[in-house]
Amino acid sequence: MTVDETGTATVTFLFSDVEGSTALLRKLRNKYGAVMGDHERLLRAAWEEAEGRELDADGDSFFVAFRRPRQAVDAAAAAQRALAAHSWPEGVELRIRIGIHTGEAAVAGDQYVGLAVHRAARICDAGHGGQILLSETTRSLLEDEEEELDGLELHDLGLLLLKDFDRPVRIYQLAVAGLQSDFPALRSAAGHGAAQLAERQDELAVTAPADARIVRVLIVDDQALVRAGFRMILEAETDIEVVGEAADGREAVDQARRFEPDVVLMDVRMPELDGIEATRRLLEGDGSASKVVMLTTFDMDEYVYDALRAGASGFLLKDVPPEQLVAGIRAVASGDALLAPSVTRRVIEEFVRRPPDSVRTPPPKLAELTPRELEVLKLIARGLSNAEIANELFVSETTVKTHVAHVLMKLDLRDRVQAVVLAYESGLVQPGET
């Protein structure tokens, strides 16, 4: 790669990451490392064969530089063929998305810095597992090389607005003979509905599930009008089914064990048995796979912290806008925690400032975290979203998600909220720290 007198070079950058790595981690548990080891071996062979220079491999992501666009394209196709041909355990289908862009970048030591790097990463983020995406620049340079793309075809997918970029760019898909070529619409900074909803989902760090499975919901509240209002909102969604209602905590536990809902909307204050104790009973041991979202009247409800300690995956205000209620339920059902960063900061500062007598010493499992995973845990506890953590650590959001998944697995935690609670209760992070 030739570097000019300004210290810049024209390079073709390739980013790859595994689709659904968090779900894969939860499914495979201890076998995840072996699967990822095979993934790394297969991809590194493809990069090396095409004379690629590996710049970074963080979590389940690769960042590779090539001298020529054709080398990057050949490497991407070889990688997808190798993964498709590999025999994965337990019916696992490991799928990666790849983004390629050619542009100028400043040379800083043995690394590259510049918008071209970020553009390549965002193109990768827009794709789906099994898909290879190219920028208009890379496609044009491929044509200039006037070489036949044996077994490969380029399909124009139109203009796409990439996250963090102001102007849309034209994206092409590289179709590999014998492999999947039909994919859902690209993920776009403006492609998931109204901008207001997109901003809310980004604040909550939630995404609608990729699959179309039905999310089963149990509504628990002692006020019939509240239950009816939530039911009306949820039943308007094609991918959500209300399987039952309960008027108190005791009935909620019985109904949850009977219907096994994916998500329980649980009021905090109820007669007979309050929502916190009901949550504790429902989630004790490993008997229930249901996730609990607490319903509260005020965003600083005095019981919120106790609810999170009982195992709730987050909370919502009772006057939450309908679209935010739906987005939150989908997020929790897919395995995310429903606790906006802004709420995390307020709740933790308020309720951990005077922790209970049962504050735990740091669990031995903390020693199993890598330095980067420990750093991510601390940033989670301070209320940073995945995007903010990515900016803080200069990595991609997909890399952050992988680190978060590793933290949860190693510490045997249900979700992100429990990680926040553990970090404060164990003294790893102190209220007021910045």
* pLDDT tens by residue, 42-87: 999 999 999 999 998 877 889 999 999 999 999 999 999 999 999 9
Q: 3-state DSSP call for residue 10?
A: strand
pLDDT of residue 285: 61
Residue with tokens 């949820």: 234
Structure letter (DSSP) for residue 185: P
Element (H, E) at 234: helix 224-234
Return the half-sphere exposure (C-beta side, CA atoms, 13 A cut-off) of residue 209. Answer: 19
Question: Residue 388 has which token pair?
Answer: 């903010």
Question: Residue 16 has which token pair?
Answer: 């790859």
* pLDDT tens by residue, 374-431: 999 998 887 777 788 888 888 777 788 778 878 888 888 877 777 877 887 787 876 6
pLDDT of residue 390: 84
290-294 average pLDDT score: 87
* pLDDT tens by residue, 187-219: 865 443 333 333 333 333 333 334 446 889 999
Question: What is the separation of C-alpha 3 from the centre of its chain, rounded to a whole number of angstroms?
Answer: 36
Above 60 in pLDDT, residue 2? no
Percent of the chain with pLDDT over 90: 30
Sign of the CA dihedral with 408 first, then 413, 418, and 423 last: negative
9-28 average pLDDT score: 85
Question: What is the separation of C-alpha 118 from the centre of its chain, rounded to a whole number of angstroms?
Answer: 18
Single-letter code of the amino acid located at 113: V
Between 160 and 188, where is the model more confident?
A: 160
**Domain extents for the chain?**
8-191, 215-338
Q: Is CATH 3.40.50.720 what the domain over 8-191 is classified as, yes or no?
A: no
* 327 and 204 Cβ atoms separated by less than 8 Å: yes
Residue 327 pLDDT grade (very low, low, confident, very high; cuts 50, 70, 90)? confident
Residue count of the chain, please give it: 434
Between 267 and 350, where is the model more confident?
A: 267
C-alpha distances out from residue 219 to 64, 81, 278, 309, Å:
48, 46, 13, 21
Region of residue 130 (phi > 0: left; psi between -120 and 50: alpha; otherwise: beta)? left
Percent of the chain with pLDDT over 70: 80
pLDDT of residue 402: 79
Tell me the range of 142-151, 171-180, 308-317, 329-338 where mean pLDDT is highest.
171-180
Single-letter code of the amino acid located at 17: D
* pLDDT tens by residue, 206-262: 333 344 468 899 999 999 988 998 999 998 888 899 999 999 999 999 999 888 899
pLDDT of residue 128: 93
Beta bridge partners of 102: 12
Between 196 and 126, where is the model more confident?
A: 126
Residue 306 pLDDT grade (very low, low, confident, very high; cuts 50, 70, 90)? confident
- The residues, ordered by sequence, that sit 6+ positions from 347 with a Cβ below 8 Å of its Cβ are 300, 304, 305, 308, 339
Residue with tokens 């019985």: 254
The class of domain 215-338 in CATH terms is: alpha beta
Neighbours of 219 (CB within 10 A): 25
- The residues, ordered by sequence, that sit 6+ positions from 367 with a Cβ below 8 Å of its Cβ are none
* 71 and 1 Cβ atoms separated by less than 8 Å: no
- The residues, ordered by sequence, that sit 6+ positions from 211 with a Cβ below 8 Å of its Cβ are none
